[in-house]
């Protein structure tokens, strides 16, 4: 991928195979940690936010824990149609998929409407997509869910860039901080945006901690290598696996809870979404009430499509 070339071009330390291998190893470590958190938590309900296209439901169902895969509607629909073909019939009742928008509290609460008991929310690859306003909304929504149901939240997003950089550094002998700088430059160019003020991409560990505490969370720390004791793809090279896992000791990870905290802000009741489209004298007027996001926007588009046939564009 183009942004990994920043590492190679700026530092002249990585070959194609090293870049690819570093990426694969760090992703594998994150996937392994997902399984560890799901297994070790005393919560019997795992909320995978976002679930993406990973088969996390299979591992969770085998643990006899309930699995809720939450993602954008198109993703949830696609992965559920595939996943249920591979889940044992005796375990299908443990798995659910729901379309949500993480910034939309009502959609997430509806997805969990039949939940009874504590929940463990696991987030891998989500928080970097939001601006600061929406990021705060997502974190507060998760906080409100934990206040209601109890349980915990783990996200690899707090340290995923460090995980990749340390993996690169071990394989190439490079400096972790130089690799982080080059990686962030590549991400900015790929996204055609400036992420220099994004707390989960460019922020320090203390800035991330402060941000989450402002959202109302209590934080319990652990070291990555304390829970990660194996990387399956490196079993044929135990010396390298030991070096990488040892280097991961530098990474501080967090389990977040809402226990003993006050709600950062009272959850505002969202107005029910509604739209009114009227066409008069070839002028389309639109009135919207409520929140417009990835859940409600398709409803507006559907209404527009219904009216479009009667709109005559003037040349």
pLDDT in tens, 22-59: 888 999 999 999 999 999 999 999 999 999 998 999 99
Tokens matching residue 74: 């198109």
Q: Which pLDDT value is given to residue 193? A: 59
Inter-residue contact 93 to 57 (CB < 8 Å): no
What does the pLDDT look like over 193-205, one tens digit per residue?
A: 566 677 887 788 8
Spatial CB neighbours of 166, under 8 Å, sequence gap ≥ 6? 176, 244, 247, 248, 250, 251
Inter-residue contact 201 to 208 (CB < 8 Å): no
Q: Assign residue 216 a region: left if phi > 0, alpha if psi is -120 to 50, beta otherwise?
A: left
Tokens matching residue 147: 């206040």
Q: Which pLDDT value is given to residue 266? A: 47
Inter-residue contact 194 to 188 (CB < 8 Å): yes
What Cα–Cα distance (Å) separates residue 110 from each residue in 107, 117, 255? 5, 16, 25
Q: Which pLDDT value is given to residue 283? A: 76
Q: Which pLDDT value is given to residue 284? A: 74
CA distance 153 to 169: 29
Q: Which pLDDT value is given to residue 181? A: 75
Spatial CB neighbours of 255, under 8 Å, sequence gap ≥ 6? 152, 153, 154, 219, 220, 222
Helices (H), the chain: 5-11, 16-40, 56-62, 73-83, 105-111, 132-149, 160-172, 176-191, 205-214, 224-227, 238-247, 297-308
User: Across the strands, what pairs with 96?
Assistant: 68
Inter-residue contact 153 to 257 (CB < 8 Å): yes
Taking the alpha carbons of 153, 158, 161, 164 in that order, is the dihedral positive or negative? negative
Within 10 angstroms of residue 50's Cβ, the number of other Cβ atoms is: 19
State the DSSP H helix or E strand holding residue 295, giving kind and residue range, or none if neither: none
Q: Give 10-residue mean pLDDT values along the chain (315 residues).
A: 52 64 89 95 97 93 97 95 94 96 93 96 91 90 95 91 88 79 65 68 87 94 93 92 95 89 51 70 74 71 72 60
């Amino acid at each position: 991928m183009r942004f990994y070339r920043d590492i190679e071009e700026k530092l002249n330390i990585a070959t194609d195979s090293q870049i690819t291998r570093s990426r694969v190893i760090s992703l594998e470590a994150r996937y392994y940690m997902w399984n560890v958190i799901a297994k070790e938590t005393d919560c019997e309900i795992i909320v995978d936010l976002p679930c993406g296209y990973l088969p996390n439901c299979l591992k969770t169902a085998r643990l006899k824990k309930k699995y809720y895969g939450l993602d954008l509607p198109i993703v949830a629909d696609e992965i559920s149609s595939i996943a249920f073909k591979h889940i044992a019939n005796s375990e299908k009742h443990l798995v659910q998929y729901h379309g949500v928008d993480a910034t939309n509290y009502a959609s997430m609460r509806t997805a969990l409407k039949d939940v009874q008991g504590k929940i463990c929310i696991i987030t891998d690859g989500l928080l970097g997509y939001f601006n600061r306003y929406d990021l705060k909304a997502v974190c507060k929504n998760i906080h409100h869910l934990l206040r209601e149901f109890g349980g915990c939240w783990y996200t690899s997003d707090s340290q995923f860039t460090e995980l990749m950089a340390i993996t690169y550094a071990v394989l190439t002998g490079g400096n972790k901080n130089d690799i982080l700088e080059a990686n962030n430059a590549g991400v900015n160019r790929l996204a055609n945006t400036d992420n220099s003020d994004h707390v989960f991409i460019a922020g320090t560990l203390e800035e991330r901690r402060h941000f989450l505490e402002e959202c109302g969370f209590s934080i319990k720390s652990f070291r990555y290598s304390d829970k990660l004791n194996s990387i399956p793809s490196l079993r044929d090279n135990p010396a390298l696996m030991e070096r990488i896992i040892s280097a991961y000791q530098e990474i501080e990870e967090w389990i977040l809870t809402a226990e003993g905290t006050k709600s950062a802000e009272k959850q505002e009741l969202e107005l029910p979404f509604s739209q009114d489209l009227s066409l008069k004298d070839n002028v389309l007027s639109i009135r919207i009430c409520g929140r417009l996001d990835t859940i409600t926007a398709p409803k507006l588009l559907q209404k527009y499509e219904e009216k479009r046939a009667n709109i005559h564009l003037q040349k």
